[in-house]
Structure 1
Amino acid sequence: MRINADFTQRVAVHFDQTEWVASPAAGVERKMLDRIGDEVARATTIVRFAPGSAFAAHTHDGGEEYLVLDGVFQDETGDFPVGSYVRNPPTSSHTPSASQGATILVKLHQFAPNDRTTVRRSINGADYVPLFKDDHETVEMRSWPSGQVVPIDAHGGAEVFVIDGGFTEQGEEFARWDWLRLPPGTRTELRAGPDGARVWMKSGHLSGMV
């Protein structure tokens, strides 16, 4: 399976215009943002867990990072409510579930093979939260007030996911849970919407994909 697999291209996925697709696990549905592979894939996905649903225990050979968008996500290490950002490095394993339901943004098989950094952090209650940084990538949460113009120099590529509010880029509007991927070398501007914007951003990590 290949979805938005050409990393030289700008890609925009709007949450309200994308259908949910059933996963192999009962009660778990997905909106696929990009994907290379089948069930074991390099993937960026919005995943919705119905109350009481779960995935079988599995190991993340290429690592996993996720942001909880709604509800409470769970595994053996604890409960992760809305606003939780988690990085599970390569070789980590868990049994994810959501007893009361949850929606997450998750990225799979995109870590450097030698990365062994675990992160558990909340983005709640702050305008800026640095989440992770190494020679490969930078991950952060940013908030911008209404009308702010934000220059983007994505020399290593970037992804911008709207948590709340919205922004425009090249005349295209992005609202809650919309996703924009910019290829390496992109220089552009984002303008925060009338309600401002709170976004999850990842940059620098796409240079090896083109």
Structure 2
Amino acid sequence: MLIHSDFSRRAVVTAEDHRWVASPQPGVERVMLDRIGAERARATSLVRYQPNSIFPTHGHPGGEEILVLSGTFSDDSGDYGPGWYLRNPPGSSHQPSSLDGALIFVKLWQMAAGESTTVRANTRDSALWHRAGDKEVCPLYESSHEQVSLQRFPSGAPVRVDTQGGAELLVLDGQLSEGHERFARGSWMRLPPGHSCALTAGAAGVTIYLKTGHLAVLIA
């Protein structure tokens, strides 16, 4: 299966474009944002758990990155509410579930083979945030080829994105705009290395998940 598999091109899935499809596990649906492969795929998805949903224990040879958007996501390491960022390195395994239901943003098979860092960060903890010019930043992970953070911009502020190594963002709250395009909460965007963009925060500001630097190797 190939979905937005050409990493040299801009890819966008707006909130209005979401198409939920059933996963092999009952009670779990997903919106496929990009994908290369079948069930063992390099994939970026929104995943929705119905209450009392559970996955069998499984491994992640290529690692897994999760941001909890709503509800409570659980696995062997604990229970995680909205705003929790989880990073499970290659070779990890778990049994994910949700007692009350959850919506999560998930990235699979997108980590370097030698990565060993496990992250559990509550982005609703104000101590994790700092001001950088006219924006606020919550750093989540950084390596030589990848930077992950949440960023919050005030009304009308330019949203400057370093696309030298490519960039990917998800609108978590508020709205982004670029020209006549509008990107509401839940909209996802992937920008190839060197892509020029002129994004602006909406009238109520905007909060985004942002990953940069990670796409250069895919189109080298």
* TM-score past 0.5 threshold: yes
Q: Tell me if 1:182 matches 2:186.
A: no
2:65–2:87 Cα contact (<8 Å) kept: yes
Higher strand share goes to which structure? 1
Aligned to 2:162, what secondary structure does the other structure show? strand
Give the aligned partner of residue 72 of structure 1: 72
Give the aligned partner of residue 36 of structure 1: 36
In structure 1, stretches of 5+ residues that fail to align are none
Q: CA deviation at 1:166?
A: 1.0
Q: Tell me if 1:207 matches 2:220.
A: no
Q: CA deviation at 1:170?
A: 4.1
Give the aligned partner of residue 162 of structure 1: 171
AA paired with 1:44? T
Aligned residue runs from structure 1 range 19-58, under 5 A: 19-58=19-58
AA paired with 1:96? P
**d(CA) in 1 for partners of 2:150, 2:84:** 11
AA paired with 1:102? A
AA paired with 1:143? R
Give the aligned partner of residue 142 of structure 2: 133
Per-residue deviation, residues 73-110 of structure 1 (Å, max 9, x unmatched): 00010001000000000000000000100000000000
**d(CA) in 1 for partners of 2:60, 2:167:** 23
RMSD: 0.9
AA paired with 2:199? L
Count of aligned residue pairs for this structure pair: 210
Q: CA deviation at 1:153?
A: 3.1
Q: CA deviation at 1:25?
A: 0.3
Q: Which is worse superposed, 138-147 or 153-162? A: 153-162
Normalization by structure 1: what TM-score?
Answer: 0.98
CA gap of 1:10–1:170, structure 2 versus 1, over 3 A, is farther
Percentage of identical aligned residues: 50
1:153–1:187 Cα contact (<8 Å) kept: no
- Out of 173, 187, 196, the position equivalent to 2:205 is 196
Normalization by structure 2: what TM-score?
Answer: 0.93
Q: Tell me if 1:4 matches 2:4.
A: yes
**d(CA) in 2 for partners of 1:135, 1:102:** 32
Give the aligned partner of residue 109 of structure 2: 109
Q: CA deviation at 1:63?
A: 0.2
1:141–1:200 Cα contact (<8 Å) kept: yes
- Out of 132, 149, 156, the position equivalent to 1:147 is 156
Give the aligned partner of residue 122 of structure 1: 122
**d(CA) in 2 for partners of 1:89, 1:40:** 16
